[in-house]
């Protein structure tokens, strides 16, 4: 990947030059191969120019070149630096991804200040129009756009890997999209999702394709903004993006993400799953984006979640239920900072949709990504999580508790959890319900399952059995945690 110096405004002549150098060197190499009996003629075929990049604050290109061409590029006065293309991959955590859990606890957690209890663990408080008028670009493996949970709000944006299909053959991108904007599983239930496929079905791809995907999102956003200002796109509030992927440190990818934010996109990225410093990963180190670590149902930092000064906020990321591939109704429960990041991308879209007011003269929400990021952090719940290193912000995302008044949400500011007071009052207060509460929740869940079974074909007994097994497993697990906590005090 090649990045130009800031003074370069028109790269077309450079592109022509590099292609001519590439072709000349290719011809000379092929001629040499013909004269040699040691190598077949097809050895060392280089593709040449692959992608060109142009967005706010960044111009460059990528390609597959021989050493001679690379050295010529490196010496060119317009070139700032060259970075070797590298592999990136999804950040889903692989521990028991097939185990189905309860309906998304993560949505409930970001809408409540205090630790979840039996009265709140499955209750998501939100504004009905959250996400309306906002486009979210999910830069990942693609999205199952036909899934019923998207209600037709998921569209295919762009497939970047050459020759790949316009479909999600992995599931990771679909899961992220569901957490962003699904009717049941999503934070911003009225947002529109655009699939930007940069990773293949095995969950991996190249850094250069990812950069091209970021550029696509930035340009698509700019075009939509212009259409809104021209009166051709009514009700548009702005754009957000989610990137639940990562690899080693890449200056180019970080620069691309920062440039996309400068272009107006509100960007969330995963911190990474190596229980290490997120500043050593890209795009987690991109300073303009919101870098997201993962939390658990019991308000702990997930054991795999990266940490450090590059982390901006935490969001639920362990055992997250969302949309999947294989059918229009498929779901899956998986873990990772990949699952935490779309909670924040959805929350950015959610908050973006709450302003400006409907009677505002603005065609597009005028709040900048920098300002919205600052507001998101300023209203977060402080000190809620355990096992957070001292060099890491201990703040957990909050959506305003269902308020549709953005100004009111921001004015409320942050909320600091008093852990000492919680311990004095007793661990039982937040973890042990009465058995009547357990029975009521069980009956409610079974009744809901019955209604669902009637809609999908009357398989009530099967669904009831699944609900009973699930409740039993959850209760056993929760009471074990309670006993452990009580024993430790």
Segment 378-404, tens digit of pLDDT? 999 999 999 999 999 999 999 999 888
Q: Verify that 465 and 408 share a domain, yes or no.
A: no
191 compared with 127, residue with greater pLDDT: 191
Residue that finishes a domain, picked among 82, 117, 147: 82
Q: Verify that 184 and 279 share a domain, yes or no.
A: yes
What's the confidence (pLDDT) of residue 282?
Answer: 97
Mean pLDDT, the chain, rounded, equals 84
Is 425 contained in some domain? no
**Alpha-carbon distance 178 to 175, whole Å?**
5
Q: Verify that 360 and 478 share a domain, yes or no.
A: no
Is 362 contained in some domain? yes
**Alpha-carbon distance 426 to 131, whole Å?**
39
Which stretch of 36-45, 84-93, 214-223 has the lowest confidence by average pLDDT?
Answer: 36-45
What's the confidence (pLDDT) of residue 456?
Answer: 41
Is 422 contained in some domain? no
Identify the active-site residue in 140, 164, 254, 299: 140
Q: pLDDT-derived band of residue 478, with 50, 70 and 90 as boundaries?
A: low
pLDDT at 418 over 50: yes
Dihedral angle sign, alpha carbons of residues 112, 114, 115, 118: negative
Is 392 contained in some domain? yes
Residue that finishes a domain, picked among 417, 446, 470: 417
What's the confidence (pLDDT) of residue 95?
Answer: 43
Q: Catalytic: 64?
A: no
Q: Verify that 139 and 161 share a domain, yes or no.
A: yes
Question: 54-77, pLDDT tens digit by residue?
Answer: 998 899 999 999 999 999 999 999
Q: Verify that 413 and 439 share a domain, yes or no.
A: no
Q: Verify that 178 and 323 share a domain, yes or no.
A: yes
Using left for φ > 0, alpha for ψ between -120 and 50, and beta otherwise, residue 157 falls in: alpha
Q: What angle do CA 286, 267, 263 make, to 5 degrees?
A: 90
Q: pLDDT-derived band of residue 182, with 50, 70 and 90 as boundaries?
A: very high
Is 290 contained in some domain? yes
Write out the two tokens for 212: 């091209």
Lateral strand order in the sheet of 58-64: 48-55, 58-64, 2-4, 79-82
What's the confidence (pLDDT) of residue 355?
Answer: 78
pLDDT at 248 over 80: yes
**CATH code (residue 188):** 3.40.50.200
How many C-beta atoms lie closer than 10 Å to residue 67's C-beta? Answer: 10
42 compared with 266, residue with greater pLDDT: 266
pLDDT at 412 over 90: no
> Percent of the chain scored above 90 by pLDDT?
65
Residue that finishes a domain, picked among 388, 417, 446: 417
Q: Verify that 250 and 289 share a domain, yes or no.
A: yes
Identify the active-site residue in 62, 177, 338, 341: 338
Is 309 contained in some domain? yes
What's the confidence (pLDDT) of residue 477?
Answer: 61
Q: pLDDT-derived band of residue 26, with 50, 70 and 90 as boundaries?
A: confident
Q: What angle do CA 157, 47, 27 make, to 5 degrees?
A: 155
Q: Catalytic: 172?
A: yes
Q: pLDDT-derived band of residue 192, with 50, 70 and 90 as boundaries?
A: very high
Burial class (CB in 10 A: 0-12, 13-18, 19+), 46: middle
Q: Verify that 395 and 375 share a domain, yes or no.
A: yes
Q: Catalytic: 338?
A: yes
- The predicted model gives 188-205 an average pLDDT of 95
306 compared with 476, residue with greater pLDDT: 306
**Alpha-carbon distance 160 to 165, whole Å?**
10
Report the first-to-last Cα separation within the chain, whole angstroms. Answer: 55
Identify the active-site residue in 51, 172, 192, 266: 172
Is 426 contained in some domain? no
What's the confidence (pLDDT) of residue 489?
Answer: 53
Q: pLDDT-derived band of residue 467, with 50, 70 and 90 as boundaries?
A: low
Q: Give the H or E element holding residue 456.
A: helix 435-456
Q: Are 324 and 144 in contact (CB under 8 A)?
A: yes
Strand stretches in 336-429, DSSP E:
381-382, 395-396, 415-416
User: Phi then psi for 282, rounded to 5 degrees?
Assistant: -125, 140
How many C-beta atoms lie closer than 10 Å to residue 137's C-beta? Answer: 29
What's the confidence (pLDDT) of residue 463?
Answer: 52
- The predicted model gives 352-373 an average pLDDT of 74
What's the confidence (pLDDT) of residue 38?
Answer: 52
Which stretch of 92-106, 133-147, 222-236, 453-467 has the lowest confidence by average pLDDT?
Answer: 453-467
pLDDT at 37 over 80: no
Q: Verify that 52 and 139 share a domain, yes or no.
A: no
H helical segments located in 163-290: 172-181, 207-229, 251-262
What's the confidence (pLDDT) of residue 161?
Answer: 96
Q: Give the H or E element holding residue 267.
A: strand 266-270
Task: Give the range of the structural domain holding residue 455, as residue numbers without chain letter.
Answer: 431-487
Which stretch of 3-17, 150-164, 277-291, 452-466 has the lowest confidence by average pLDDT?
Answer: 452-466
pLDDT at 408 over 60: yes
- The predicted model gives 334-345 an average pLDDT of 98
How many C-beta atoms lie closer than 10 Å to residue 221's C-beta? Answer: 25
Q: Verify that 210 and 251 share a domain, yes or no.
A: yes
Q: pLDDT-derived band of residue 119, with 50, 70 and 90 as boundaries?
A: confident
DSSP, res 311: -
Is 396 contained in some domain? yes
- Domain tally, the chain: 3
DSSP state letters, 200-216: -TTSEEEHHHHHHHHHH
Q: Verify that 435 and 301 share a domain, yes or no.
A: no
What's the confidence (pLDDT) of residue 35?
Answer: 66
What's the confidence (pLDDT) of residue 56?
Answer: 86
Q: Verify that 195 and 94 share a domain, yes or no.
A: yes
Q: pLDDT-derived band of residue 49, with 50, 70 and 90 as boundaries?
A: very high
């Amino acid at each position: 990947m090649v990045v130009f110096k800031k003074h370069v405004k028109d790269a077309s002549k450079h592109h022509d030059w590099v292609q001519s150098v590439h072709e000349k060197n290719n011809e000379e190499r092929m001629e040499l191969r013909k004269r040699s009996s040691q190598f077949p003629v097809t050895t060392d075929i280089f593709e040449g120019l692959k992608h060109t990049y142009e967005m706010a604050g960044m111009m460059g290109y990528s390609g597959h070149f021989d050493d001679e061409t690379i050295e010529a590029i490196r010496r060119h006065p317009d070139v700032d630096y060259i970075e070797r293309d590298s592999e990136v991959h999804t950040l889903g955590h692989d521990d028991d991804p097939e185990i189905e859990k309860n309906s998304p606890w993560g949505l409930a957690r970001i809408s409540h200040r205090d630790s979840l209890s039996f009265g709140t663990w499955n209750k998501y408080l939100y504004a009905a129009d959250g996400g309306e008028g906002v486009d979210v670009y999910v830069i990942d493996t693609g999205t199952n756009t036909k899934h019923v949970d998207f209600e037709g709000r998921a569209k295919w944006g762009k497939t970047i890997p050459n020759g790949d299909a316009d479909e999600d053959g992995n599931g990771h991108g679909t899961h992220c999209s569901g957490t962003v904007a699904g009717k049941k599983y999503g934070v911003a239930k009225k947002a529109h999702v655009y699939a930007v496929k940069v990773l293949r079905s095995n969950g991996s791809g190249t850094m250069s394709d990812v950069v091209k995907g970021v550029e696509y999102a930035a340009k698509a956003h700019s075009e939509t903004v212009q259409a809104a200002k021209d009166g051709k796109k009514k009700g548009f509030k702005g754009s957000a993006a989610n990137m639940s992927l990562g690899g080693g440190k890449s200056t180019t990818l970080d620069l691309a993400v920062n440039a996309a934010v400068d272009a107006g996109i509100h960007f969330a990225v995963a911190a990474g799953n190596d229980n290490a410093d997120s500043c050593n990963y890209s795009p987690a180190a991109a300073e303009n984006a919101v870098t997201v670590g993962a939390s658990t149902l019991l308000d702990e930092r997930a054991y795999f979640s990266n940490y450090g000064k590059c982390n901006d906020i935490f969001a639920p990321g362990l055992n997250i239920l969302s949309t999947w591939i294989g059918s229009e109704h498929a779901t899956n429960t998986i873990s990772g900072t990949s699952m935490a990041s779309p909670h924040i991308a959805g929350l950015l879209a959610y908050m973006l949709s709450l302003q400006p007011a409907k009677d505002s003269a603005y065609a597009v929400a005028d709040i900048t990504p920098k300002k919205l990021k600052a507001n998101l952090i300023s209203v977060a719940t402080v000190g809620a999580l355990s096992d957070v290193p001292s060099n890491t912000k201990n703040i957990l995302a909050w959506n305003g508790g269902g308020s549709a008044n953005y100004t009111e949400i921001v004015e409320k500011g942050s909320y600091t959890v008093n852990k000492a007071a919680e311990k004095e009052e007793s661990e039982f207060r937040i973890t042990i319900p009465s058995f009547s509460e357990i029975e009521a929740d069980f009956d409610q869940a079974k009744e809901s399952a019955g209604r669902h079974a009637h809609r999908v074909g009357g398989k009530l007994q099967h669904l009831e059995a699944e609900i009973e097994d699930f409740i039993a497993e959850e209760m056993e697990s929760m009471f074990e945690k309670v006993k452990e906590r009580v024993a430790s005090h």
